[in-house]
Amino acid sequence: MTDKKTKQKLEAIKTQALADFSKYVNPQKARVLKNAGLDIIEGKREGAAVWDITGEKYIDCITSAGSFNVGRRNPEIVETLKKALDEFDLGSFIVCSKQKADLAKKLAEITPGDLQYVTYGSGGGEANDFAIKLARGFTMKTEVISTIKAYHGHTGFSLAAIGRDEYKKPFYPMVPGFKHVPYNDLKAMTDAVTEDTAAIMIEPVQGEGGIYPATGDYLKGLRALCDTNDIVLIFDEIQTGFGRTGKMFCCEHTGVVPDILTVAKSLGGNLYPISATIYREELNDFVMKYPFTHLSTFGGSDLGCIVGLAAIDYLIKNKVPDHAAAMGERFQKSFDGLLKKYPDLLIEVRRMGLMMGLQFTNDSIGPRMSYQLAQNGVMAIYTGNDPSVMRLMPVLEIQPNEVDFVIEALYTSMSEVIKQGGIEKY
Ligand SMILES: Cc1ncc(COP(=O)(O)O)c(C=O)c1O
């Protein structure tokens, strides 16, 4: 077949896939993605890049919101999974397994402080659900305080903890006992605490909320508040974990150790779903009383644990968090130039490692920038709870030339958006 014919065939497959997605999965989602220039059907994936099946190459700055820290189809982890499939399956969730034990031991070793016990799940929402259940069960109190614009997943308890009403309203009543206060506001949190507060739940960098890093004083203040009032401190590191912020876990930047730390996304090496709720020995008192307090058929499957262990080993062996920190610095240098050149469009850049948020002047800019960036070879999307913020979260082993490519695309896309007009602040 000629190249032209092959291209036509692939175009036809793409058109059909988009039409079927629209007809059988979610037409509104398909429309939103098209408007943002992200009507892409992923084909080849490698390192920091993904190719649309028609052959267009993109640097992936979406990475499923921090799920692809080890890169797209990391060859070492692909090999590990292939080998594992020759011998293993999911395993029985009822019995003990070496794989579950090995990964739990590794998680206990690499998480800070005395975080030790692990309960597995298959996704982030589930990990947070269990964190909240554990906090309530352990303290025998009911209230959970999280933050406005927080994102903790779409499952039961986690949904109640989300700080955005649009996700929750159609399903009221939510699980009762949840309160939301402004992020990075220690006084608001302190004022919200009552005798019935079981847990404070926080993302160390608010991801979907618009990439807001917590200040060190805030996290230290939360730790003290929890210690004084017998409250369980939960850090949701589902986006920030596994090197994303330049350290293996974001909380290492401040040395504040939570009572429960939740992880998911990149634990699965972008190849196999797995999540974990990791908690201090003290909280294990509750699990000793109720050992079957959280059951999950697919949670902590043998294959998931094998992949999780391989992903962690890869991150450590290759000093990936350090690389992320260095590439973050490289981005930062150019952000300063962008801020100077486009002050009417770009107000601020918030960043920790390779978790980056570009704060634009209004809500319409996020989707428009997604569109322009896609035209310029970068896949990026605005944050879920704030469309005025462009989130950039590439794979952690992005190379200097790829960073420069993304920067170039940002310059080009911003000047295109400015030419189109309508960037006034509102
Ligand atoms: C901070 C945070 N918590 C929880 C979740 C939910 O994870 P999952 O989609 O695996 O349920 C996400 C997903 O984006 C997240 O970013």
pLDDT digits (tens, 9 = 90+) for 158-191: 999 999 999 999 999 999 999 999 999 999 999 9
For the record, the structure tokens of 183 come out as 């992020």
Average pLDDT, integer, range 289-308: 95
Average pLDDT, integer, range 21-26: 97
Q: How confident is the model at residue 422 (pLDDT cuts 50, 70, 90)?
A: confident
Say how many Å lie between the CA of residue 164 and the centre of ligand 1. 14
Q: Which atom of ligand 1 is nearest to the CA of 275?
A: 10
Task: Please state, rounded to an integer, the average pLDDT across all residues of the chain.
Answer: 96
In the predicted structure, residue 385 carries a pLDDT above the cut 90: no
194-228: per-residue pLDDT in tens? 999 999 999 999 999 999 999 999 999 999 999 99
Average pLDDT, integer, range 75-92: 98
User: What is the rounded CA–CA span in Å between residue 208 and residue 198?
Assistant: 24
Does domain 75-317 fall under CATH 3.40.640.10? My reply is: yes
Q: What is the pLDDT of residue 384?
A: 83
Say how many Å lie between the CA of residue 124 and the centre of ligand 1. 5
Q: What is the pLDDT of residue 274?
A: 98
Average pLDDT, integer, range 310-334: 98
Domain boundaries, the chain: 1-14+47-66+320-359+392-426, 75-317
User: What is the rounded CA–CA span in Å between residue 111 and residue 71?
Assistant: 22
Backbone dihedral angles phi then psi of residue 326, each to the nearest 5 degrees: -65, -40
Neighbouring residues of 18: CB distance < 8 A, sequence distance ≥ 6 = 30, 34, 39, 41
In the predicted structure, residue 62 carries a pLDDT above the cut 70: yes
Q: What sign does the dihedral 87-93-96-102 (CA atoms) show?
A: positive
Say how many Å lie between the CA of residue 40 and the centre of ligand 1. 22
Whether this model's pTM surpasses 0.95: yes
In the predicted structure, residue 132 carries a pLDDT above the cut 60: yes
In the predicted structure, residue 248 carries a pLDDT above the cut 70: yes
Hey, whose CA ends up nearest to atom 14 of ligand 1?
Answer: 65
Say how many Å lie between the CA of residue 377 and the centre of ligand 1. 26
CATH superfamily, with its number, for domain 1-14+47-66+320-359+392-426: Aspartate Aminotransferase, domain 1 (3.90.1150.10)
Say how many Å lie between the CA of residue 343 and the centre of ligand 1. 32
Hey, whose CA ends up nearest to atom 3 of ligand 1?
Answer: 152
Q: What sign does the dihedral 109-115-116-121 (CA atoms) show?
A: negative
Hey, whose CA ends up nearest to atom 16 of ligand 1?
Answer: 239
Half-sphere exposure of 221 (CA within 13 A, CB side): 15
Say how many Å lie between the CA of residue 107 and the centre of ligand 1. 19
Average pLDDT, integer, range 46-50: 98
**Pocket probe mutation, ligand 1, options 63, 238, 270, max atoms within 8 Å of Cβ:** 238
Hey, whose CA ends up nearest to atom 13 of ligand 1?
Answer: 153
Q: Cis ω on the peptide bond leading into residue 173 (within 30° of 0)?
A: yes
Q: How confident is the model at residue 426 (pLDDT cuts 50, 70, 90)?
A: very low
Say how many Å lie between the CA of residue 151 and the centre of ligand 1. 7
In the predicted structure, residue 39 carries a pLDDT above the cut 90: yes
In the predicted structure, residue 150 carries a pLDDT above the cut 70: yes
In the predicted structure, residue 99 carries a pLDDT above the cut 70: yes
User: What is the rounded CA–CA span in Å between residue 348 and residue 192?
Assistant: 30
**Pocket probe mutation, ligand 1, options 63, 152, 183, max atoms within 8 Å of Cβ:** 152
Hey, whose CA ends up nearest to atom 5 of ligand 1?
Answer: 153
Q: Which atom of ligand 1 is nearest to the CA of 126?
A: 11
Say how many Å lie between the CA of residue 284 and the centre of ligand 1. 24
Average pLDDT, integer, range 138-151: 98
Q: Which atom of ligand 1 is nearest to the CA of 65?
A: 14
Q: How confident is the model at residue 1 (pLDDT cuts 50, 70, 90)?
A: low
In the predicted structure, residue 126 carries a pLDDT above the cut 70: yes
Instruction: Give the rounded percent of residues in the chain with a pLDDT score beyond 90.
Output: 95
Q: What is the pLDDT of residue 425?
A: 56
Backbone dihedral angles phi then psi of residue 346, each to the nearest 5 degrees: -115, 120
51: buried, middle or exposed (CB in 10 Å: 19+, 13-18, 0-12)?
middle
Say how many Å lie between the CA of residue 127 and the centre of ligand 1. 9
Hey, whose CA ends up nearest to atom 8 of ligand 1?
Answer: 124
Q: What is the pLDDT of residue 421?
A: 84
Say how many Å lie between the CA of residue 355 and the centre of ligand 1. 15
In the predicted structure, residue 373 carries a pLDDT above the cut 90: yes
Average pLDDT, integer, range 238-247: 98
Pocket of ligand 1 from Cβ distances under 6 Å: 65, 123-125, 128, 151-153, 203, 207-208, 236, 238-239, 264
What's CA 371's distance to the chain center, in Å?
A: 22
